[in-house]
């Protein structure tokens, strides 16, 4: 039986198709990217979260104005729980803007309030390079003419005002929100500004959100090679960088679930080739550097950097590997990190015994299945009860997931790392990998786990 029905899922048999136990002889994938079973205690978020929370939020020099009732803006204030850092902390993540729709706005429409809000926000923060307007559920229902209002406001204030139709009820997860953000940024921003100059070594890093400063350890590796990073999409990005991203010679794509759309669009319109990479762990990072170097003809320089960086971290990693050897991990991430991290953990002697994603598509699951051993549980859109069952029955030595699942793990006595916003990051590339393994050690070897009492203990 390739698919399996977990005990907690007996009343919702449709979950069987989402729960796959890998067998090499088969060519199967779990069912994915479909509506959630109502009331199953899903961990998923909404389309607004994917658009405003994930893709747009990291852009550091625009006003992110949330059009709707107050809650949605409050949740994404400062990135919410996301640690998408930038070098503009005096503005970015410090301020939160909302039209704060009231009942009469819902009844009579919110267009006037939105228009005034855009003008006032611009007046308070004239240095902001644009206004991004994010629609929440109510807006799609009452039919405010978001595009019309934004166009009118743009003419009035003279900086770009970009509407995002990312109402929470659209789609089945955050994933559609990523797509909407990609399409809108491509249509409205990319290609609207020319860089001061171009070089033959201009590259964009697409799909990295600078979680706890990931980009600040990734970017210098390429710069030392002689590459100029034209745009980071969207970690620590200014809107002008995104506007001139069309002049890059290569798009290096990191998060391959939230940004393949814009990569495809840029390839089609501007002929920019795409290179897919994992920048976690030594092997994958070095591989990515080599592939980028081969594209630009910078192989010698890359080998120098790789040798230097690997020699700095490899001995320490080897020590950790001895300590971790034989441990078992359950990885549950948004999507790509689940498969980025399977080989990274293997480098550390840790095998993945279960892998799940919140909003993965078929290509994500194909990559997971290609990377895990036979018998590994591959699960789509797991809910809280399934997670509890897996953690209790499979008893992994480590669970890597997000904040909502953190305290479930803790209450079950299972060591945990927050893979979404990190514990003590950054986690990417070489020096970040050392942070990651150091956190893995803290999580698995903390003495407190040995002090927990079980029922019946005197």
Partner 1 sequence: MRSVTINPARMCQPIGAMYALFGVHAAVSLVHGSQGCAAYPMRMFNRHFRELVQVAVSSLGEDASVFGGKKNLTTAIKNVIARRHPELIGVITTCLSETIGDDIDGIIREGKYECKVVPIHTPSYVGSHVTGYDNALCSLVSHLSKEPDAVDERINIVPGMVNPGDIMEIKQMLDSMNVSYTILSDISETLNAPLMLPKPPFPEGGTSVDEIEDCANACGVISLCEHAGGSAAVFLKGKYGMAADTICPIGVENTDRFLAAVCDMTGGGIPNSLEKERGRLIDAMVDVHMKTYGKRAAIFADPDIALALAEFVTELGMDVVIISSSTASRKFLQKAKSVTDGGEILNGRDLYELHRAVKDREVDILFGNTKCKPIAKDEGVAFVRCGFPVYDRVGYHRYGIMGYHGGVYLTDMIMNAILEWEERE
Comparing CB distances to partner 1, the nearer of 35 and 155 is 35
DSSP letter string over 339-366?
Answer: HHHHHHHHHTT-EEEEEEESS--HHHHH
At which residue do the structure tokens 């953190």 appear? 406
Whole-number minimum distance, CB 421 to partner 1, in Å? 10
Comparing CB distances to partner 1, the nearer of 12 and 275 is 12
Q: Which of 38, 158, 271, 450 binds partner 1 (CB under 8 A)?
A: 38
Decide: 172 and 33 in contact? Cβ < 8 Å.
yes
- How many residues contact partner 1, by CB under 8 A? 78
Provide CB contacts within 8 A for 292, sequence distance 6+.
203, 222, 225, 227, 250, 252, 275, 277, 298, 302
**Burial state string for 198-232 with b = 16 or more CB within 10 A and e = fewer than 16:** eeebbbbbbbbbbbbbbbbbbbebbeebebbbbbb
Q: Which range, of 116-124, 187-195, 239-247, 317-325, touches partner 1 by CB under 8 A?
A: 116-124
At which residue do the structure tokens 């904040």 appear? 403
Closest CA to 153 of 65, 60, 57, 76: 65
Whole-number minimum distance, CB 171 to partner 1, in Å? 7
Sign of the alpha-carbon dihedral angle for 195, 196, 198, 199: negative
Q: Which of 30, 57, 58, 69 binds partner 1 (CB under 8 A)?
A: 69
Name which of residues 373 to 432 contact partner 1 (CB under 8 A). Answer: 384-385, 388, 403-404, 406-408, 410-413
Whole-number minimum distance, CB 153 to partner 1, in Å? 12
Q: Is 137 exposed, middle or buried (0-12, 13-18, 19+ CB in 10 A)?
A: middle
Q: Is 159 in the site for partner 1 (CB under 8 A)?
A: no
334: left (phi over 0), alpha (psi -120 to 50) or beta: alpha
Decide: 44 and 173 in contact? Cβ < 8 Å.
yes
Closest CA to 134 of 192, 50, 209: 50
Provide CB contacts within 8 A for 315, sequence distance 6+.
none
Comparing CB distances to partner 1, the nearer of 50 and 260 is 50
Q: Which of 5, 28, 142, 157 binds partner 1 (CB under 8 A)?
A: 142
Whole-number minimum distance, CB 453 to partner 1, in Å? 6
Q: How many angstroms separate the CA atoms of 194 and 196, rounded? A: 6
Whole-number minimum distance, CB 32 to partner 1, in Å? 15
Q: Which range, of 69-77, 190-198, 254-262, 336-344, touches partner 1 by CB under 8 A?
A: 69-77
Q: Is 241 in the site for partner 1 (CB under 8 A)?
A: no
Q: Which range, of 44-52, 155-163, 182-190, 302-310, touches partner 1 by CB under 8 A?
A: 44-52
Whole-number minimum distance, CB 305 to partner 1, in Å? 38
- Name the H helices within 143-281: 146-157, 175-188, 214-225, 239-243, 260-270
At which residue do the structure tokens 């050690």 appear? 441
Q: Which range, of 24-32, 115-123, 181-189, 361-369, touches partner 1 by CB under 8 A?
A: 115-123
Q: Which of 36, 88, 198, 438 binds partner 1 (CB under 8 A)?
A: 36
Comparing CB distances to partner 1, the nearer of 97 and 186 is 97
Q: Which of 60, 113, 134, 249 binds partner 1 (CB under 8 A)?
A: 113
Q: Which range, of 39-47, 187-195, 266-274, 433-441, touches partner 1 by CB under 8 A?
A: 39-47
Q: How many angstroms separate the CA atoms of 191 and 193, rounded? A: 6
Length of the chain: 458
Name which of residues 120 to 139 contact partner 1 (CB under 8 A). Answer: 120-121, 124, 136-138
Q: Which of 103, 127, 196, 300 binds partner 1 (CB under 8 A)?
A: 103
Q: Is 109 exposed, middle or buried (0-12, 13-18, 19+ CB in 10 A)?
A: middle
Q: Which of 17, 44, 321, 323 binds partner 1 (CB under 8 A)?
A: 44
Decide: 4 and 19 in contact? Cβ < 8 Å.
yes
Q: Is 42 in the site for partner 1 (CB under 8 A)?
A: yes
Comparing CB distances to partner 1, the nearer of 63 and 293 is 63
Name which of residues 169 to 198 contact partner 1 (CB under 8 A). Answer: 169-173
Whole-number minimum distance, CB 247 to partner 1, in Å? 35
Comparing CB distances to partner 1, the nearer of 51 and 353 is 51
Q: Is 16 exposed, middle or buried (0-12, 13-18, 19+ CB in 10 A)?
A: middle
Name which of residues 7 to 26 contact partner 1 (CB under 8 A). Answer: 8-9, 11-12
């Amino acid at each position: 039986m390739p698919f399996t029905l977990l005990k907690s899922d007996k009343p919702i048999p449709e979950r069987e198709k989402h729960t796959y136990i890998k067998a090499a002889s088969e060519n199967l994938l779990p069912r994915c990217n479909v509506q959630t079973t109502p009331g199953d205690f899903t961990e998923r978020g909404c389309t607004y979260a994917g658009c405003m929370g994930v893709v747009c939020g990291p852009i550091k020099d625009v006003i992110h104005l949330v059009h709707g009732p107050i809650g949605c803006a409050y949740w994404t204030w400062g990135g919410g729980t996301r640690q998408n850092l930038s070098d503009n902390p005096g503005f970015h993540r410090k301020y939160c803007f909302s039209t704060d729709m009231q009942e009469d706005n819902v009844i009579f429409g919110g267009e006037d309030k939105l228009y005034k809000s855009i003008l006032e926000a611009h007046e308070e923060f004239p240095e902001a390079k644009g206004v991004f307007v994010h629609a929440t559920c109510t807006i799609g229902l009452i039919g405010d003419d978001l595009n019309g209002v934004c166009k009118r406001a743009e003419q009035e204030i003279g900086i770009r005002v970009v509407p995002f139709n990312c109402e929470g009820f659209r789609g089945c997860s955050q994933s559609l929100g990523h797509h909407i953000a990609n399409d809108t940024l491509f249509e409205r921003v990319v290609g609207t500004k020319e860089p001061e100059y171009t070089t033959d070594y201009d590259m964009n890093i697409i799909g990295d959100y600078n979680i706890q400063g990931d980009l600040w350890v990734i970017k210098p590796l390429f710069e030392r090679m002689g590459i100029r990073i034209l745009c980071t999409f969207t970690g620590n990005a200014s809107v002008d960088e995104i506007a001139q991203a069309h002049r890059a010679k290569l798009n290096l794509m990191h998060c391959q679930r939230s940004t393949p759309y814009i990569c495809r669009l840029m390839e089609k319109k501007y002929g920019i080739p795409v290179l897919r990479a994992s920048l976690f762990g030594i092997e994958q990072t070095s591989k990515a550097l080599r592939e980028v170097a081969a594209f630009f003809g910078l192989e010698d320089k890359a080998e120098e950097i790789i040798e230097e960086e690997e020699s700095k971290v490899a001995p320490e990693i080897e020590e950790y590997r001895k300590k971790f050897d034989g441990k078992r991990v359950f990885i549950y991430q948004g999507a790509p990190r689940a498969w980025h991290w399977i080989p990274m953990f293997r480098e550390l002697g840790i095998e993945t015994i279960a892998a799940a994603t919140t909003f993965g598509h078929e290509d994500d699951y194909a990559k997971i299945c290609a990377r895990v051993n036979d018998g590994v549980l591959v699960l789509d859109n797991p809910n809280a009860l399934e997670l509890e069952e897996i953690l209790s029955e499979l008893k992994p030595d480590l669970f890597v997931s997000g904040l909502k699942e953190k305290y479930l793990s803790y209450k079950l006595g299972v060591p945990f790392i927050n893979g979404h916003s990190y514990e003590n990051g950054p986690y990417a590339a070489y020096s970040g990998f050392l942070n990651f393994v150091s956190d893995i050690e803290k999580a698995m070897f903390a003495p407190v786990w040995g002090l927990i009492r079980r029922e019946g203990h005197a």
